[in-house]
Amino acid sequence: MTQSYENLLAILEKEFSLCTRLMELLQQEREVVASLDPDALEQLLRDKEVISSGIRVCDEARERVLEELGFKDMTICEVSRRAEAVYREPLASLASRFTSIIHRISELNSFNSMLIEKSLYHIKTSYNFLSTFEVSAPQKISVEA
């Protein structure tokens, strides 16, 4: 049982580290979107995808360990209340840290979404303005299209 708790703590620490890196990327995203640098944006998106994949792997591992411990479908906060005494405080601390970082990630994501929408609006407006003078921008088709 002790090894399962140790595994859970290790997985949660790794997942928290990935969330911290994701938060840093979201902060960079604001600058990249504002600079309209497509290459930097593309690299940022690749980095975010790698981190998201890592978080998914941690989620799956966490769910397996929680099931081993008999805590299937419980939050970390709930687990911290029912865990063995020695693991209650570290789990409660991690639950609190996760709550904080997830809130911050959500805020950054919302802000970046608004910034992207505003940038797209300005691009469309500029394109339409140029179109009235029969000026056409070169069309570039991305690989993802």
What are the structural domain ranges in the chain?
Answer: 2-132
Helices marked H in 70-84 — which ranges?
A: 76-82
Q: What is the mean pLDDT of residues 119-127?
A: 76
What CATH number was assigned to the domain covering residues 2-132? 1.20.58.300
- Whole-angstrom distance, CA of residue 121 vs CA of residue 111: 15
Position of tokens 């008999």? 70
- Whole-angstrom distance, CA of residue 24 vs CA of residue 93: 21
pLDDT tens readout for residues 74-101: 999 999 999 999 999 999 999 999 999 9
